Every structure is written in C-alpha cells, then in structure tokens.
Amino acid sequence: GTACRCAPGFISFSGEIFTDPLESCDGINECGPPSPVYCGSSADCQNTEGGYYCTCSPGYEPVSGAMIFRNESENTCRDVDECQHRPRVCKGLSVCINTEGSYTCQRPPGLEFSPEDPRHCTDVNECTSGKKPCHSSTHCLNSMGSYECRCRSGWKPIHGSPNGPHNTVCEDVDECSSRQHQCHNSTVYVNTVGSYTCHCRQGWEPKPGFWDKQMNTICKEISFPTWTAPSGIKSQALSHFLNRIQDLGRNFSSASVLNTVQDLVQETGDLLETPGDLKTLPFSEQHFVVTNLLFGLENVLRGVSKALPKGSFTFNSSAGIELSLEVQVPSYRNITLIQKQTKMMLTWDTVHDSGDSGLAVVGLLSTPGMDRFLAEAPLVLDAEELTTLREIHRGLLQETSHILLSDVISAFITNKDTENLRSPVTFVFQHSVTPGPREKVHCVYWEHGQNGSGHWDTRGCWVTSTRDNSTTCQCSHLSIFAVLMAHYSVQEDPALTVITYVGLSLSLLCLLLVVLTFLLCKAIQNTSTSLHLQLSLCLFLAHLLFLTAIDRTESKVLCAIIAGALHYLYLASFTWMLLVGLHLFLSARNLTVVNYSGINRFMKKAMFPVGYGVPAVIVAISAHNHLTLLFSAFNTRLTVFAFLLTYATYIVGLPLWLSW
C-alpha cells in the first residue's frame, strides 16, 4: 500500500507517517506546552505555519541586532531604558522611573496627574484648593509644585514665630510710630490694621480733588462761606447786618467756630428784632430780603459747622432765635432735634453723603419774627392737593387769606443734595391757633424764585396729623419750612342764596303777622295764644338775626356772640314747641272746666322759666365746654336754610290750625 509522510513542522493524527487517505497533516505548535523549544529569559516564542521563531519580550531588545532567533543560545535580549527615549514617555513635569522590562511615571510633590492622560501631571494650586494652608495674617503665593506664605502689605513676621515658607505668622506694622507713613503735614495719621489713613484736622477739610481718610489726603482750613448781598435793595439795616457778617468772616478761624456761630445767631436776632427800614420796603422787596437771609444764613451755618467737634450744640439769641446742631459720626440710629416750638426727626442715612467719611452735621434753626416780612407772600398748592380741595367743596372754593401758625425754621445737613431724600424728614410744629371749619392747615416750604424772591409751596410736603395746638409734617426734601393756615371761602350757589333770602323774608313776614295778631286781638288771648306768641317771637328774632348777621365772622368775639344768640333762640323755639304740644295734650285729656283752669294756672307759672330758662342753661354749658363749637352747627347756609324752612312752615301753619 501507499504511505504518506508529513512535512517538517506538521503531524497527522496517526503520527508523522499515515496510510489513511482521509487523514491530513496539521501544523505543530512548537511554542505551546509541552514544548521542547526554550527561547531563554526575556524572550517570547512565536509559532508559525510549520515552524517557529523567538523574539525579545516587550521592554527588551537584542544586543546582536537580530530581531528573531531560534533558541536560547542565540538569545541576546536586554532591558530597554524607556526613560531615555525621545520624545519622553512621561509628559509634563512627571518623572520617569525605569523598571525591568517597563517604566513608571511618578509625580513630584505639589503636582497631580491629569485625568485625561495618566502620564501627564500638572501643578496643584494649594492657595485655591480650599485647604487654607497659610495663617490668616499672611497671604498664600502659589509656585510650581509648592507655595509660600508671605506677610501682607503693612504686616511683618512676628518676632520669634516660625518664619518658614509654609508657616509664617505676621502682625500689623504701626506706620505711625515707626514713621513709615507718607501723610501730608496738613493731616494727622491714624494707624489701621495692615495700613494707615491720613485724616483732616478738626476745622480742616479736604482740598478739591481729594477725599478725607485716604493715604494721599491733603487738607485746607475751613473758610467762611461767601454771603452775597441782594441786588437792588437799599436798606441801612440790611447793609449794617451784612457788614457785620463780613467782619465775622474776616476774623473766622476753626478755633473760634463756637463764638462765630453764636455771633451769627445774635446778629440775625438783632436784625429781626429791630428791622429798621426793612419794614418800609415794598412786600416784594421784603420777600427778596427774606430769601437772601434764610438761604444765606443756612449756607454759612452749613459751612462753618464743619469745624465743630463731635457733640450736640445749642445757640440762642436775645430775640428768641434758636439753633440746634448735632455733629456725630454716622450710625444707624435716628436723629431728633427738639426746640421749644419745633421737633425734627430723621435718620443718619438721610444725612450722610456716601462719598464722605467724616463727621456729619444736622442743623435746625428757628427764626421767630421772620413772619413780619412774609406778609402777602403767595401760596402755591400742589396740584393734587388743590384738586382734592375743589372736589370736597364741589369747585366753589377760593383762598381769601393765610397766616403762619408756626415759626419759620431752616433745616440743613452736611449733604447739600437734599432734593430727594432716601426717607422723609418729620417735623412737629407747636402753635396756639386752632384751625376753624373753613381753615386748612398746610405744611409749606419757602421756594427760591428765579428772580431772587420766593413763595410758599407745598410740593414734597404733606400733613400727617394735626391737633388743636400741634401739626406733624413730613417732607421729602430739606429747605425753609413752616405751618401755614389758609382761610377758604366757599362761593355760594346764587340760586340757593336767592331761595334763602326769599324764604326767610316770607317767614319773617308771616311771623310778624302772627305776633301782631296775638298781641292786638284781645278776644283770643289765652294760655295757648301766649305759648304761640313766645314761640313766634323766638323764631322771628332767630330768623332776623340769621338773615342780617350770619356772615359777620371778621371778629371772633362778635362771631361767638352771634353764634351763641342763634343757638339760644333756636333752642328756645324747640322748648316753646314742647310747651305748646304739652298744653295741647293736657287740654285734650282733661276736658272739664276745673281741670282746664288748673292746667292754665300751671302753664302760666311754668312756661316762662321753662321756655327761656332751659335753653339758657344748655347754651351756658356748651359755651363753657367749647366756645368754638357754637358756630360749627351753622357753618353752611344751606344746612341752616333747610332747618329754617321746615320750622317756618310749621310756625305759619300751626297758629292757623289751632285757631279753629
């Protein structure tokens, strides 16, 4: 038979030689176990079709240069130093460490591997990692792979403390005691934590372009503000006053600021107490002078008060002028300035200028006597307030006169920008006059006109409450303030006026006829007619007094007398009506002659004491309690007319009905 032999490197199932035609030769895996092939250390066996070869393992290379070999005797493999390769296998700042057949990348201290590439390491910023490695008196300075703790500017290492790069502890440097400051000689230096500031001396202020309490502050002594005389006013009293003000300005120094302020207050009081020829000026020129005095005095006081030390100050003049000043470091508390007739309340955030870090000044100046120069000063109402007044009185309203209830005050603060304050300022004014039913209280301020004059205005001020002797106001700005009471007259409807006079005239005519009838017709005179006679007389006198004297309100005494008389006559009319009804009731109940005679005797004795005595007692009690309320029931003619028309009809018809 036929036999087949497998080629070298192959073998069949039966062995190297086989006779079965269905068998085939398969490649021998010389590298697989069990294997007679050994390539040596640091080498790997690679099987091929019908053979094999040896190669150096990864991380090794042949010394001979032959990349493949057949057995251990040909093995020349040795370790490869990957750390010497170019480009570097470890990137960035990582350190390459060679190992047998491989390598590792290590990170130096202060570095970390990148998540994207484990062979690349970057710096760790210890200063921003949230670990806070440095003491609070130092600041952290990061470097590549490390950090340092350095003293801040204005600080130095504490003597004896650790002074290494990582554990430094520092303390503040007192630049003032060590003479390391650079403050200008016009300032005083104040040490702060880690630095220092240069403060203006008392009575000094920063020069233009500089701020107080800075390291480069330069100051100048506070100067006396300029007071310009009003042009076109010829007055010896005013000229003398302004000359005295100029003398105070020439002699002014920060050391004498208290005396200067007192002299300002006294000079102003002397001018208001003895105005001289100022009272002879026309009203328009007097208003011009008032504007100059008020705003000029406010400007000077605001300027010189900056030289005052911290504290509360009060200045008075012999004429009653009062000045209250509060000089404080701004805080969160409220400020209250109280005087005899005025109280002012505001907050420090209203006073203090955000760009100024010095003392803040609040001033309140009361000037009694200033009202004598404000006669016929015009009043301009806020549009909304005027509309409200006209709606209440249906448009039939006009102002006839106004008077000042309070002293004229001036409120000022350090901050000159007081047009729109952060929060309103509250004023409480005391006054002795109680507003009447047709009198309206206004919180007003003196508005500086373009021509140098001025007028009273209500814009930005409103009344929050008013009582008999005090009024509380709030304003969104600061200026010259006062409480003013305006008297308004209600323009009456002509048709109602005609009806009132015609109706009252007819009533008077009818009442006169009734009175004459009861007096002259003796045949009908009895107790009943006597009662009606007294009732008719009371109503006749009340109507006549109302028709002739209801508008006589120019004198308070006369007005009170008329109101009391009207009150008494109408109460007497009600009382006589009561007696008429009582007599009619008793007569109808007792229809016997004896009882009727008894009733007549009782009525004759009691009717006059009751008819005229009871109203007198009621009026006396009312007058004692509140005299001003006597007129309040008759403050509108329409109300009285309705009252009179009702009872006039009754009086005209009642005698006719009883006569039947």
571 vs 577: CA distance, rounded Å: 10
| pLDDT above 80 (res 352) | no
Q: Given phi > 0 = left and psi -120 to 50 = alpha, else beta, which region is 621?
A: alpha
User: Which DSSP string corresponds to 474-543?
Assistant: EESS-SEEEEEEEEEEEPPPHHHHHHHHHHHHHHHHHHHHHHHHHHH-GGG-SHHHHHHHHHHHHHHHHH
- Which has the closest alpha carbon to 580: 592, 572, 569? 572
Using one digit for the tens of pLDDT, what is the confidence trace for 581-613?
A: 887 877 777 654 445 555 566 666 777 888 888
Side chain identity at residue 34, one-letter code: P
Q: Looking at 26-30, 269-273, 614-618, which range is the least confident one? A: 26-30
Looking at residue 630, what is its pLDDT? 37
Residue 341, burial from CB neighbour count under 10 angstroms (0-12, 13-18, 19+):
middle
Higher-pLDDT residue of 426, 94: 426
DSSP 433: P
pTM of the model: 0.55
Using one digit for the tens of pLDDT, what is the confidence trace for 456-467?
A: 999 899 999 988
| pLDDT above 80 (res 163) | no
Looking at residue 301, what is its pLDDT? 92
Q: Structure tokens of 47? A: 């099987």
| pLDDT above 90 (res 6) | no
Looking at residue 440, what is its pLDDT? 83
Looking at residue 69, what is its pLDDT? 85
Q: Please give the distance of CA 600 from its chain centroid, rounded to a whole number.
A: 76
pLDDT band of residue 647 (cuts 50, 70, 90) is: very low
**Is the bond preceding residue 157 a cis peptide, omega within 30 degrees?**
no
Looking at residue 353, what is its pLDDT? 57
| pLDDT above 60 (res 628) | no
Higher-pLDDT residue of 109, 344: 344
Mean pLDDT, rounded, for 251-280: 91
225 vs 298: CA distance, rounded Å: 10
Give percent of the chain with pLDDT exceeding 90: 16
**If you average pLDDT over each of 116-130, 205-219, 460-474, 542-556, which comes out highest?**
460-474
**If you average pLDDT over each of 96-105, 184-193, 317-326, which comes out highest?**
317-326
Buried b (16+ CB within 10 A) or exposed e, 194-216: bbbbbbbebbbbbeeebebbeee
Mean pLDDT, rounded, for 425-451: 85
111 vs 124: CA distance, rounded Å: 5
Higher-pLDDT residue of 397, 421: 421
User: Which DSSP string corresponds to 576-593?
Assistant: HHHHHHHHHHHHHH--SH
pLDDT band of residue 23 (cuts 50, 70, 90) is: confident
Q: Work out the angle at residue 636's Cα, subtended by the Cα atoms of residues 634 and 638, and round it to the nearest 5 degrees.
A: 110
| pLDDT above 80 (res 309) | yes
Q: What is the mean pLDDT of the chain?
A: 80
Instruction: Give the strand pairing for 342-347 and 425-430.
Output: antiparallel
Using one digit for the tens of pLDDT, what is the confidence trace for 360-394?
A: 889 999 999 898 888 788 888 877 776 766 665 55
Looking at residue 212, what is its pLDDT? 74
| pLDDT above 80 (res 265) | yes
| pLDDT above 70 (res 626) | no
Using one digit for the tens of pLDDT, what is the confidence trace for 229-251?
A: 888 888 899 999 999 999 999 99
